Amino acid sequence: MDERDRGDGSDGYPLGVPDQASSRLSLLWRTDPLLGEPFQQAALGPATLVRYPYPDGAPPPKAAVIHVHGYNDYFFQEHLARAFTAAGYAFYAVDLRAAGRSLHPDQIPHFVMDLREQATDIAAAARTVRGLEPGLPLVLHAHSTGGLTGSLWAHAHRNAAGADAGPDVLVLDSPFLDLWAPDWQRTIGTRVLDTVGRLAATAILSDGPSRYAEHLLAANGGRWAFDTTLKRPEGLPRRVGWFVAVRRGQARVAAGLEIGCPVLLARSASSGPDDLDNPLLDAQDTVLDVEQMAALVPRLGHDVTELVVPGGVHDLTLSARGPREAYLDRMLEWTNSRIDALVGGGVGGRAGARDTT
């Protein structure tokens, strides 16, 4: 991956340019079999677009939002859709290729060898949603690995215009911007794997249960019901090719991005071990190091706000009620202020009728 920026916004390669055939497909909406009515889904090339229909009779939406999931994850957060919709946003989510609704039996879950593959899915979703919601500003709400890929896509498309533009506002929920591991693994280990990665791309690098997901699951006494074949409490193996792709993306973040839109980086107040013996398992990020996220805030762009949520878990939208509501309230307050400023300044705004087909 070229770490140098040519100055045209591409960093030497077009990150996340949608396949033209995929981006022009006629969407065939049907009831989402995972969440049921009123949620709908439609195939979008190798990805799947999900929408929560905007209510008839409500004031016109102020913006559209696309949610992007993380690793060992998919979209199931109904309350997130309802919160955005109640605040006046047309809500969509994308299950990326080989993940969630988009996973096929012959695929390795979440496996990609280049984050540009997933960025292409985000680009196709953005182009499609802009077509469905003409004239509306676009918010990207991205979690964990989705936050890493979404940041790279926003940076690469910062100078693009029209349907190919990056987001107007970027919200990062605990983004996977660096590796939480000993220094030798972050340096020497990464270089070794980068060298041999293509020779053993699908080899399992690490494996083990996700106590975080296990604790969240309603069947185990947690708060959330989800499909355990798509978000696995037993964990999802991390393979060499995927790891190399992630570390290359993280190296680009470390070199410094120039995301052109306002960015909100939201995180828990602390990190801790992903262990059932951890008394703060339900009140910390047990997947990533929040101090690493904080340290990389200046590397994202010139307009970045940090939101710290005490008591939040890795996916802040899945936290206990107090920190979850605090995140949603403060995130929406910030997002509303940025959208209001964009619309008031003549950027975005409503143009034409919404496509509800």
Instruction: Give me the residue spans of the domains in the chain.
Output: 20-344
For 267-304, b/e burial (b = at least 16 CB within 10 A) is bbebbeebeeebeebbbbbbbbbbebbeebbebbbeeb
The pairing of strands 30-31 and 40-44 is antiparallel
pLDDT of residue 260: 97
* Residue 308, strand partner residues: 267
* pLDDT for res 19: 54
Average pLDDT of span 176-198: 66
DSSP state of 188: I
Mean pLDDT, residues 252-264 taken together: 97
DSSP, collapsed to helix, strand or coil, labels residue 264 as strand
The tokens of 265 are what? Answer: 């980086």
Q: What is the pLDDT of residues 37-60, one digit of tens each?
A: 999 999 999 999 999 999 999 999
The crossing angle, in degrees rounded to 10, of helices 145-156 and 240-255 is 50
- Whether the bond into 262 is cis, omega within 30 of 0: no
Looking at residue 143, what is its pLDDT? 98
pLDDT reported for residue 13 = 40
By the 10 Å C-beta count (0-12 exposed, 13-18 middle, 19+ buried), 352 is classed as exposed
pLDDT at 284 over 50: yes
Q: What is the pLDDT of residue 179?
A: 86
Q: Model-level pTM greater than 0.85?
A: yes
Please name the residue ranges forming H helices in the chain: 20-23, 78-86, 115-132, 145-156, 183-184, 190-196, 211-216, 240-255, 290-296, 321-344
Mapped onto helix, strand or coil, the DSSP state of residue 205 is strand
CA dist 136 to 66, 165, 355, Å? 12, 13, 12
Q: Is the pLDDT of residue 107 over 80?
A: yes
Pairwise CA distance, residues 104 & 107, whole Å: 5
Residue range 20-344 forms a domain whose CATH class is: alpha beta
The lowest-confidence range among 169-183, 237-251, 286-300, 343-357 is: 343-357
Residues in the chain: 357
Mean pLDDT of the chain: 89
